[in-house]
Amino acid sequence: MVASPDNNVADGRTEEQKAIDEWLPITSSRNAKWWYSAFHNVTAMVGAGVLGLPYAMSELGWGPGVTVMVVSWVITLYTLWQMVEMHEMVPGKRFDRYHELGQHVFGNKLGLWIVVPQQLVVEVGLDIVYMVTGGKSFQKIHDLVCKDNCKDIKLTYYIMIFASVHFVLSHLPNFNAISGVSLVAAIMSLSYCTIAWGASIDKGVQPDVEYEYRAENAGEGVFNFFSGLGEVAFAYAGHNVVLEIQATIPSTPEKPSKGPMWKGVLVAYIIVALCYFPVAIIGYWIFGNSVSDNILISLEKPTWLIVLANAFVVIHIIGSYQLYAIPVFDMLETYLIKKLRFKPTWYLRFITRNLYVAFTMFVGIIFPFFGGLLGFFGGFAFAPTTYFLPCIMWLSIYKPKRWGLSWTTNWICIIVGVMLTVLAPIGGLRTIIMQAKDYKFFS
């Protein structure tokens, strides 16, 4: 059956099912252009992770650090291409959600169990980290602007201020509704990355800079190395929403969505490289081992510029939070309507979305460990969904010739990804434990 340009699926749906699909966030709007894909992907990819890259470099060292950065960029671009290609590999059908592709490859039940938990950990985990980053950036702005006779405000309250924005924005219905927010966020990401490395160069190499591993002993160095791997993996998380972004692009048999989507992805990845590599390399070169787990925290002057950069971070991660929240909203609302038979009403959406924002805010308040969270989540769930799950699906579907280029490339990606998944959470969890020793709840 041929896909229609209007709803882009092989239609055996009832009127009720069509109405539900038109109400759900992912399938409700299909009029996006290729440049929507570009700035959605930049907003999804260049998030809190980029600010932790100089710190990751300090844990990995010069040689391994640059190698891991380059290899990650190449592998994730390759697996992102695979995701875009697999979106419409079955004629007349679209896999608009990551778990739908998983169900096609692994079967209805197993596909859900393989993909959904990992995707939820990534998306919810990112939103929790964004709560912490938003709060810390607000705190940094306050500390820079107000230095004399200012009341010391707890990080908890800054996180709550950041969350208050999302209690409003979370009620925008779908990706296209947040396209303006996403475009502004993408511009902000390029801006604060430029400020981060530009202000670092202006500051100059620190007189007491050291590039030796920051660990006091070999064991600590190994754990730090593992955590650094996770922090780099965390920076490449856009795969978790790529099918959902592609779902917003119209498609016909003559003009499949993969053409404009791939054009947008390429533009986004060039911008990602322009953001990631200068920030990581220059930040580490200037500060060495003394760099903070958020590069903007290490920069104090010029005050007005660092205040501006932190404001850009806040604006950017407002967009990023929404980009990762919408697929979660889609899962929640699909489950409530299709499984539990709730009616698709505005108050159902109001309750579920507010509860989600409140949950991510509360967890962010309890565990505001930026660096540790990056390492832990980066390895635990980001590596599987970004580095090797697309490769496993590709091998399963297309069955390339053994030892051929495609087969070998995919297995290399799988091996690298599995190593990241096993090693990175160990380092990240240790970082959280070390930071938690002196931490008081709701401080």
Q: What's the pLDDT tens digit per position in 376-428?
A: 665 666 778 788 889 999 999 888 899 989 999 999 989 988 888 887 777 66
Task: State the DSSP code for 289.
Answer: G
Least confident of 108-112, 124-128, 207-211, 375-379: 375-379
Backbone angles phi, psi at 117, to 5 degrees: -60, -40
Q: Is 44 left (phi over 0), alpha (psi -120 to 50) or beta?
A: alpha
- Say if residue 295's pLDDT is above 90: no
Among candidate residues 300, 294, 136, the one with its CA nearest the CA of residue 206: 300
CA distances from 391 to 26, 86, 229, 259, 410 (A): 24, 11, 20, 20, 5
pLDDT, residue 438, reads: 60
Contact 243, 101 (CB under 8 A): yes
> Is 177:151 a contact under the CB 8 Å cutoff?
no
CB 319 within 8 A of CB 202: no
- Whether 8 and 94 have beta carbons less than 8 Å apart is answered as yes
Kind and range of the H or E run holding 203:
helix 179-203
pLDDT at 342: 82
pTM of the shown model = 0.82
Closest by Cα among 420, 417, 419, 385 to 83: 385
- The pLDDT of 283-306, averaged and rounded, is 79
Domains, the chain: 38-328+356-438 (1.20.1740.10)
pLDDT digits (tens, 9 = 90+) for 28-37: 667 777 888 8
Residue 356 has pLDDT above 90, yes or no: yes
Say how far apart CA 255 and CA 252 lie, in whole Å. Answer: 5
